[in-house]
Amino acid sequence: MSEYWENVKNTAVKWVEEAGRMLKDSLHDSLDIQTKSNPNDLVTEMDYKVERYLTERIEQNFPGHKTIGEEEAGRNIASTEGVLWIIDPIDGTTNFVHQKYNFAISVAVVENGHGKVGIVYNVMQDEWFTAVDGRGAYLNDKKLPETCGPVSLPEAVIGLNGRWLARETRSDEASLHHMVRRSRSVRSYGTAAIELAFVACGRLDGYISFRLSPWDYAAGLVLLKETGITVTTFQGDSPSMLQQNTILAARPTLHEELTSYLYNHKGFTY
């Protein structure tokens, strides 16, 4: 059966490669940029174009499969039964618009809620993070080792979205400040999919975020499972493939330490 998912992964990689070319080519032209939930939540015509390109290919080649995408696809899907593709056509749209760098195409294939294939394509660096359930995770053609032993917070570099360090309704910024001060350092790349892939390959020791959607992390979850990294919500549950979640990903010992900061502190409402 894993041969089947390996083939699905190889097929998806070809489509993502073509979608990546579309994104690179678009950087030469001026973009049509709009906002969604708030003035900082950007979307471009390329988000829609790439999502449609991938959705059409999935429909043509895998007629029994369902698709959820960040922009349009699968709004009516309420169950993870069967095979579900979860797509973010551009993860890190703000980076795509402002930096023309540090953005990814993220594609996951999930069967009955279990991740089977994960692809995070770091477009401008041309880096492929791929994984098939039970077959390990890869960075380009190099197999990533499983968890690289324990690490404590004072030795750890943590990825997070800097916005959560400011006072706001969902977080208790004081406990986040405390956690940041105890860590070796923090990084904020502005793309959850790449940040999770960086945890899988050891460039980050952990990653935390509030309010992510399944398309931001579904592919990352497959990569992380194959590299022995623990991923849960702040409450210790498995992240949902259909709803927004908090996400805490780290090597097991660090995950425990971070949980004590995030869960045991009062004031987190999301």
Give the span between the Cα atoms of 224 and 129, in whole angstroms: 11
Of 136 and 157, which CB lies nearer to ligand 2AM in the complex structure? 157
Q: Residue 88, interface with Ca ion (CB under 5 A)?
A: yes
Query: Quick one: what does residue 212 bind among Ca ion, ligand 2AM, none, with the CB cut-off 5 to 8 Å set by partner type?
Result: ligand 2AM
CB of 90 to Ca ion, least distance (A): 5
Of 71 and 133, which CB lies nearer to Ca ion in the complex structure? 71
Which residues contact residue 72 at a Cβ distance below 8 angstroms, ignoring those fewer than 6 apart?
48, 51, 52, 55
Of 88 and 133, which CB lies nearer to Ca ion in the complex structure? 88
Helix, strand or coil, per DSSP, at residue 85: strand
CB of 215 to ligand 2AM, least distance (A): 7
Sheet strand arrangement including 66-69? 66-69, 83-91, 104-111, 114-122, 127-132, 137-139, 142-143
CB of 122 to Ca ion, least distance (A): 14
Residues listed for the chain: 270
CB of 152 to ligand 2AM, least distance (A): 25
Binding-residue pattern over the window 171 to 190 for ligand 2AM, x denoting contact by CB under 6 A: -------------------x
Q: Residue 230, interface with ligand 2AM (CB under 6 A)?
A: no
Q: Residue 195, interface with Ca ion (CB under 5 A)?
A: no
Give the span between the Cα atoms of 60 and 175, in whole angstroms: 49
Q: Please identify, among the stretches 110-118, 124-132, 210-218, 259-267, the one whose residues bind ligand 2AM according to the rule CB under 6 A.
A: 210-218
C-beta of residue 153 within 8 angstroms of C-beta of residue 182 = yes
Relative to beta strand 142-143, strand 185-187 is: unpaired
| Furthest CA-CA distance within the chain | 51
Give the span between the Cα atoms of 5 and 175, in whole angstroms: 41
Of 97 and 180, which CB lies nearer to Ca ion in the complex structure? 97
Tell me the sheet residues that pair with 118: 108, 131
Q: Residue 205, interface with Ca ion (CB under 5 A)?
A: no
CB of 245 to ligand 2AM, least distance (A): 11
For the packed helices 173-182 and 252-262, what is the interaxial angle rounded to 10 degrees?
Answer: 150
Of 70 and 226, which CB lies nearer to ligand 2AM in the complex structure? 70
Q: Which of residues 26-85 bind ligand 2AM (CB under 6 A)?
A: 37, 40-41, 70
Q: Please identify, among the stretches 1-9, 64-72, 167-175, 189-197, the one whose residues bind Ca ion according to the rule CB under 5 A.
A: 64-72
For the chain, helix, strand, coil in percent to 5 are 35, 25, 35
Binding site for ligand 2AM (CB under 6 A): 37, 40-41, 70, 88, 91-93, 161, 190-192, 212-213, 216
Binding site for Ca ion (CB under 5 A): 70, 88, 90
